[in-house]
Each structure stands twice: as structure tokens, then as C-alpha cells.
Amino acid sequence: MRKVTEDDVLQYYLPLVQRECKHAYKGLDWEDRVAEGNLALLHAIRTYRTKHGYFKEYAASEIRRIMQAQNGKAWSSRRLDSRFSLDAFSGISTGIGAAYLDDSIVDVTWFMESLAEMDKIVVCMLMEGMSIDSISDKLVISQSQVQGVIEDLKQKLLEYFGDSVE
């Protein structure tokens, strides 16, 4: 009987890594997301203990945790780069001595503040990586209601940000 290697596990769980990285962690390019996701999976392989429960759930949570940290570093790096760019300011006189302001953060903050309470809760749960099933269970509403909130959010997002949303 052949022994299962780390490479075998990495290959087997590649679809999980790709699924976790597909629509999230946009601070990183796709190839970087997959590479970081594979490193996170490797970390999960090496740190997994049976007390953690099912390996797939443990691996997914480790991938999310590590990817969130790597994504934060990538966005921080980009913000730092933009602070030193002449394009970061609307004009030299307004930029000198003024606090740095990231317009995307302001837009997202305003958008979030415009949402109903249920919408905000669902957005936060989605950002934490929760599935529709988990959100439904936690909020004690049907999965179709959660899906309806998500569809409404998509529509509001398109209306608010227009064509700049991918």
C-alpha cells in the first residue's frame, strides 16, 4: 500500500484552495492567491490534529485565516505605495501635510452605512467566510431568505458603485 504524501494531499485539496481564493482576497493577484492558499494548506497539513475535527473543515479555516492576513499585508503594501505616488493626491497643495485618505475605504464605509441592519449582518457573515447554510442557521431564517438578501445586496452594490464593480 502506497503512503499518502503531502503532495498527494495538496493535489487532492487544490479545488478547495481555488474555491477559497476565487472571489476573495483581491489584494493579491490570482496566482499569488493560489500560491498563498497552497502554503496555508501545507501549514494545515503539518499542524492538523484529530482534536481539530474533520481535516477539510480545519484546512478551510486555516486557509481563510492565513489568506486574510496575507491579503491585509498586500492591501497595506498597496496603500503605502499609493501614499508616495503623485496620483494619490487630487492636487499637490491638498496633499502636502494632509492625512492620507483612501477613497475606496470611504466609499465602502458610506455604502455599508446605507444598508439595512439585516444586510449589514449578512455582509459581515459573508466576509467572515460563512456559508449560506451557516448564515441561515445562525440567523434562524431560510436559505432562500439569505439568498434573497444576497441578491438584493448585489443589486445595491451595482447601483452604488456602478460599472466599477467586477
Instruction: Compute the distance between CA of residue 63 and CA of residue 41 in angstroms, rounded to an integer.
Output: 6
Architecture of domain 102-166: Orthogonal Bundle (1.10)
Angle CA 8–12–16, to nearest 5: 140
DSSP of 51-110, one letter per residue? GG--HHHHHHHHHHHHHHHHHHHHHHHHHHHHHTSGGGSSSHHHHTTPPP--HHHHHHHH
Pick 165 or 13 by higher pLDDT: 13
Domains 1-99 and 102-166 share a fold: no
Average pLDDT of span 120-144? 88
Does the reported pTM lie above 0.85?
Answer: no
Residue 93: pLDDT above 50? Answer: no
Q: Which pLDDT tens digit goes with each residue over 8-44?
A: 888 999 999 998 888 777 777 888 888 888 999 999 9
| pLDDT at site 85 | 42
Which one of 33-42, 74-83, 84-93, 96-105 scores highest in mean pLDDT?
Answer: 33-42
Domain locations along the chain: 1-99, 102-166
Contacts (Cβ under 8 Å, ≥6 apart) of 33: 21, 25, 67
CATH topology classification for 1-99 = Rna Polymerase Sigma Factor; Chain: A (1.10.1740)
Nearest to 57 by CA among 13, 4, 11: 13
What is the DSSP secondary structure assignment for residue 96, as one 8-state letter?
T
